[in-house]
Amino acid sequence: MLKQLLKDHEIILASGSPRRQRFFQDLEIPVTIDVRSVEEVFPEHLKKEEITDFLSILKASVFKDLKENQILITSDTIVYNDGEAMGKPIDHEEAVKMLSALSGKDHEVITSVCFTTQTSQKVLNHVTKVYFSELSEGEIEYYVNNFKPFDKAGGYAIQEWIGLIGIKKIEGSYFNVVGLPTYEVYSIIKEMLNS
């Protein structure tokens, strides 16, 4: 649908996430993948979407060489639980700890997406509330052992086994929990190309 509008533009996706890359493929938006390393540290006083906004802008800051026809997309997702931002677990023990903390409660999955051109920058964020049932120790151990969710914020993926057996309901975008608020991203790209 956007292919005609994109003929004079290049979209650069600065994400190594296979899920985010797949979303662009499914949206039929061709992208160039360019992941540059940045230390993902944010000031401690930031809360909720302030954190993901900050990190998505930080990831864009290392791209000093954008051309006139390029749109850079950077993104960050956190799980926000009990006033704390959960990133990706570093090992088995941390993944188990994260899932135990989420068990039987609701939390927020927050994603920010930053759109950067040579002359402008726009950031959107989306919050989805996720309600987990009580998970047994055995269920948590089984999931972490078999699915190794170490590249996922909060130590889980909604589209995997744990989501099927443990998530009672969500409020907001399902796709946001997977890693990208696709409706908003598509709308903003369309708006940028039409302006």
CA distance 8 to 164: 42
Which of 26, 65, 76, 91 is the catalytic position?
76
128 CB-near residues (< 8 Å, 6+ apart): 108, 109, 170, 171, 172, 173, 174, 176, 177
Is 26 considered catalytic here? no
- Looking up tokens 């979209």 gives 11
CA distance 154 to 139: 16
DSSP notation for 133-160: ----HHHHHHHHHHH--TTSGGG--TTS
Count of H helices and E strands in the chain? 7, 7
8 A C-beta contact, residue 172 and residue 128: yes
8 A C-beta contact, residue 162 and residue 152: no
User: Which residues are the active-site residues?
Assistant: 76
